[in-house]
Amino acid sequence: MAGTSHVFSEIYLHVTWHCLENRSLLIPELAKFVHGFVEEQCRKSKGVHFQCIGGTENHIHLVIQTEPFVLVSDFIGKIKGASSHEANQRFGQGALGWQRGYGMVSFSKRYLQTVVNYVGNQKEHHKKETLNEVLERVEPVFEKPR
């Protein structure tokens, strides 16, 4: 049971978003700052339970557990806006910008460690091209009507 809402839920989400124009903006010092900032914001947000963060120079992977009352689109929008604002304040205007949108996949608790391991090894996966197509997706995919 997540949190104290008296509602049973196991909502696990893997969220990805890219830097503006898919540029490699997340150099080590900036990435460390942004990852720490996003983690802190998750931990401060009611109903959001941080699991892990990772990524490469051009994108972020975030794994969270949420309670049912969390409006995920609002939460992700705030995290993206606040992180770029804070990064630009600290590292100079234009240091960080995000593309519009994000990718999100839900998964069951039994896959939590697998997803956390995947996110933790992002640089290796990208180097070796051992990417998980579902977890790397940013664009929404809609099935064609039958």
Judge whether 65 lies within some domain.
yes
| 68 vs 87: CA distance, rounded Å | 30
pLDDT tens profile 20-68:
999 999 999 999 999 999 999 999 999 999 999 999 999 999 999 999 9
Contact in structure between 80 and 109 (CB atoms under 8 Å): no
Judge whether 6 lies within some domain.
no
Q: How many domains does the chain have?
A: 1
| 83 vs 96: CA distance, rounded Å | 9
pTM of the model: 0.82
Judge whether 4 lies within some domain.
no
pLDDT tens profile 99-144:
999 999 999 999 999 999 989 887 664 455 544 454 455 444 334 4
Q: What is the DSSP letter of 21?
A: G
Judge whether 55 lies within some domain.
yes
Token pair for residue 13?
Answer: 């989400």
Say which CATH number the domain at 58 has.
Answer: 3.30.70.1290
Range of the domain at 55: 11-136
